[in-house]
Structure formats: structure tokens, C-alpha cells
Amino acid sequence: MAKITELVASMAAPIAEGAGCSLWDVEYVREAGEWFLRVYIDKAGGVSIDDCEAVSRPLSDQLDEADPIEGSYVLEVSSAGADRPLKKPEHFARFLDAEVEVRLYRAMEGRKDYVGILKGYENGDVTIETAAGPRTFAKKDVAQVRLYVRF
């Protein structure tokens, strides 16, 4: 049987596309004793509350009809965000040459966070260009990579 996130993604992607958006990611997580089904969407120019509603309502109806999840959960549809995490190879490909933050599981050279320009992604290894030069982080060391937003 497919994972819940994969099943929901297969349901949500055409709904998102029909609303002029694309599906970014799906999470099914337990927080504070409650289950949350989070669907993240993206759109050129940004996602509005109307876009979220245009995906949420029909997706909720489809989920009610198919009933793929036992028990109760909270459905949330939102923008992937300006500082969105990059998880899939296509995410990394889309944001080559963008500024990213690489967060590590354990400190290297006294730091757990590195910011630089994304230059490569291969088999989970991430390469960024920093002021000190190029830096490659092994997949096993990388906790998270997300777009970096300067304020």
C-alpha cells in the first residue's frame, strides 16, 4: 500500500494544477497529540489565501470520499513559503544558483548552518558556493536545506 503522503499527493496534484498552482510537498505528522495533513502548494508570483481555498475544498471532499486515512486529522493547505525546504531532486534542480541554508545534524568546524549559492545536488550530496569557496556536504550530514531569505 502506498504511503499516505504519496496517496494524498496523487490526489492533490491535479487539484492544485486545476487551481493554477503546483504541488510542492505533502506531510502527515503528529504534533501535540493531533495528526496534521499538510499540503504545500506553489505558484509563480506567490500563493494567495484564495489559491489555498481553491485546493483545500475539493481536496477535502475527495479525502472524505476516498477515506484513505484512519482516524481524525487536520487538513492544512498553504504556500510552500519563501524559505521552503528543498527535499526532492526537482526542488534542487529548480533552485540551482539560488541562495540556500544548509543545516547539518552535527557541527562541522564549529557550525551547523552554512549559507551559500546552490551549485549542485547529486545523490543527496549538496554543493554550495560560499565566500570561502565551494563546499560539498554529504547526504548523511545534511539535516535540511531550505531557501535562504535575506531581510
CB 29 within 8 A of CB 4: no
Asked if 95 contacts 147 with a C-beta cutoff of 8 angstroms, the reply is yes
Q: What per-residue confidence (pLDDT) applies to 151?
A: 84
DSSP per-residue string spanning 6-72:
HHHHHHHHHHHHHTT-EEEEEEEEEETTEEEEEEEEE-TT---HHHHHHHHHHHHHHHHHH--S-S-
The pLDDT of residue 1: 45
CB 89 within 8 A of CB 69: no
Q: Look at the alpha carbons of 115, 83, 91, 26 in this order and tell me if their dihedral is positive or negative.
A: positive
For position 65, what pLDDT does the model report?
94
Domains of the chain from N-terminus onward? 4-79 (3.30.300.70), 89-147 (2.30.30.180)
Per-residue pLDDT of the chain (151 residues; tens, 9 = 90+): 469 999 999 999 999 999 999 999 999 999 999 999 999 999 999 999 999 999 999 999 999 999 999 899 999 999 999 999 999 999 999 999 999 999 999 999 999 999 999 999 999 999 999 999 999 999 999 999 999 998 8
For residue 102, what is its C-alpha cell? 544548509
Q: Which of 2, 74, 69, 66 is nearest to 31 (CA)?
A: 74
8 Å CB contact between 41 and 55: yes
Other beta carbons within 10 Å of 2? 10
Q: What is the pTM of this model?
A: 0.87
